[in-house]
């Protein structure tokens, strides 16, 4: 099953999401450079805090706490540099730390050194420069997971629609490289089933085809800035996650068929090669 991630800094919403079956609560501290590159777009700009990380960690029991920090940066006049930021979120209870919007191998190396094995590491590949250097980046030790960020990556390529990256093979090529390296990966976000410009069921099926392991539940899955009634929010989460899991069960049946076929093919090829070797 896909690991489902939901962005919130509200402990009561985190508990509802966890109870419904969300695997990771996503605390989003990224703000440096985000307003400028997403200027005019209807995107989520959370600017959560270290205090939010601690509050979410205290609120959940089984869900992991994932924290997106800022891109690698030095101290600002009113905000600490990356070393202090990463130290703080790990002390506050981050299980997974995500590095966004990197472009160089050096930035990734610095991030991995700063985390230093104290939490799981996740790279958010969302720049064309990161895609171009992905082989060098994946050669670095200490990368636990990679998430492919379709929104900023599509902007970087000048595409009007983020899911063009699924249609043109960009995501598939990245997934192949990640799978070959044995690195866990996921991509993008989804709304509830039947919703979104590209309905979520099409995207979920691509996750299974490409071997993805995680996805973000987008703001439109349950927009708590618009839905205030806690009972309705609870209902939306329960129904939405249940419907995703039901679709996944159908996808898994087909995935199992092809996995079994691949395994049988490999066994038969090995047997045939063995017989040919015995005859020569």
Q: What is the pLDDT of residues 208-225, one digit of tens each?
A: 999 999 999 999 999 998
What is the rounded distance in angstroms from the CA atom of residue 108 to the CA atom of residue 136?
A: 10
Exposure letters 52-61 (e unless 16+ CB within 10 A, then b): bbbbbbebbe
Show me where the domains of the chain are located: 3-279
Q: What is the pLDDT of residues 14-49, one digit of tens each?
A: 999 999 999 999 999 999 987 776 665 555 556 899
Q: What is the pLDDT of residues 83-93, one digit of tens each?
A: 999 999 999 99
Average pLDDT over residues 64-77: 97
For domain 3-279, is the CATH number 3.30.470.10?
A: no
Count other Cβ atoms within 10 Å, centred on residue 129: 14
What is the rounded distance in angstroms from the CA atom of residue 222 to the CA atom of residue 219?
A: 6
152 CA to centre of own chain: 13
Q: What is the pLDDT of residues 132-157, one digit of tens each?
A: 999 999 999 999 999 999 999 999 99
Count other Cβ atoms within 10 Å, centred on residue 75: 12
Q: What is the pTM of this model?
A: 0.90
What is the rounded distance in angstroms from the CA atom of residue 276 to the CA atom of residue 26?
A: 54
């Amino acid at each position: 099953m896909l690991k489902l991630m939901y962005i919130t800094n509200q402990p009561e919403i985190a508990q509802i999401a966890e109870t419904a079956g969300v695997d990771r609560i996503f605390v989003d501290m990224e703000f440096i450079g985000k307003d400028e590159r997403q200027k005019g777009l209807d995107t989520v700009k959370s600017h959560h805090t270290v205090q939010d990380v601690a509050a979410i960690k205290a609120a959940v029991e089984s869900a992991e706490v994932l924290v997106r920090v800022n891109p690698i940066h030095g101290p600002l006049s009113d905000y600490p540099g990356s070393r202090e930021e990463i130290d703080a979120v790990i002390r506050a209870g981050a299980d997974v730390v995500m590095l966004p919007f990197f472009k160089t191998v050096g930035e990734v190396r610095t991030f991995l050194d700063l985390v230093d094995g104290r939490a799981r590491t996740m790279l958010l590949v969302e720049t064309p420069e990161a895609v171009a250097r992905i082989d060098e980046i994946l050669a670095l030790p200490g990368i636990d997971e990679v998430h492919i960020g379709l929104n900023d990556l599509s902007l970087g390529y000048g595409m009007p629609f983020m899911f063009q990256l699924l249609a043109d093979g960009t995501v598939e090529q990245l997934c192949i490289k990640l799978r070959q390296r044995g690195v866990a990966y996921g991509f993008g976000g989804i709304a509830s089933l039947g919703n979104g410009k590209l309905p979520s069921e099409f995207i979920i099926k691509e996750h299974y085809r490409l071997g993805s392991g995680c996805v973000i539940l987008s703001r439109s899955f349950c927009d708590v800035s618009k839905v205030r009634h806690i009972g309705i929010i609870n209902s939306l989460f329960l129904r939405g996650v249940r419907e995703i899991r039901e679709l996944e069960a159908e996808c898994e049946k087909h995935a199992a068929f092809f996995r079994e076929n691949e395994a049988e093919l490999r066994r038969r090829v090995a047997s045939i090669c063995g017989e040919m070797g015995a005859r020569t």
